[in-house]
Amino acid sequence: MTPPKKISLTRYLVEQQRIDGLIPGQLRLLLEVVARACKSISHAVNKGALGNVLGSANSENVQGEIQKKLDIIANEVLIEANEWGGHLAGMASEEMDAIYVVPNRYPKGEYLLLFDPLDGSSNIDVNVSIGTIFSVLHMPEDDRGVDEGDFLQPGNRQVAAGYCVYGPQTTLVLTVGDGVAMFTLDREQGSFILTQENVRIPADTQEFAINMSNMRHWAPPVRRYIDECLQGQEGPRGKDFNMRWIASMVADVHRILTRGGVFMYPWDRREPNKPGKLRLMYEANPMAWLIEQAGGAATNGKQRIMDIQPTKLHERVSVILGSKNEVERVTSYHSEL
Binding site residue list for substrate: 119-122, 211, 277
Instruction: Kindly state whether residue 249 participates in binding ligand P6P, applying the rule CB under 6 A.
Output: yes
Query: Which residues are within 8 A (CB) of 280 and not within 5 positions of it... i.e. 6 or more apart?
Result: 155, 305, 308, 310, 315, 316, 317
Annotated binding site for Mg(2+): 94, 116, 118-119, 283
Judged by CB under 6 A, how many residues of this single chain contact ligand P6P?
10
- Please, what is the Cα angle at 76 between 48 and 182, to 5 degrees? 70
Bridge partners of residue 182, in order along the sequence: 173, 196
**Binds ligand P6P by CB under 6 A, chosen from 8, 184, 211, 231:** 211
CB of 3 to ligand P6P, least distance (A): 36
**Binds ligand P6P by CB under 6 A, chosen from 17, 158, 248, 323:** 248
CB of 211 to ligand P6P, least distance (A): 4
**Binds ligand P6P by CB under 6 A, chosen from 109, 120, 261, 275:** 120
**Binds ligand P6P by CB under 6 A, chosen from 46, 56, 59, 122:** 122
Q: Between 111 and 267, whose beta carbon lies closer to ligand P6P?
A: 267
Q: Between 33 and 308, whose beta carbon lies closer to ligand P6P?
A: 308
CB 162 within 8 A of CB 286: yes
Pairing of strands 191-196, 181-186: antiparallel
Q: Between 84 and 245, whose beta carbon lies closer to ligand P6P?
A: 245
**Binds ligand P6P by CB under 6 A, chosen from 83, 95, 119, 150:** 119
Instruction: Kindly state whether residue 247 participates in binding ligand P6P, applying the rule CB under 6 A.
Output: yes
Residues lying near ligand P6P in the complex (CB under 6 A) are found at 119-120, 122, 211, 247-249, 265, 277-278
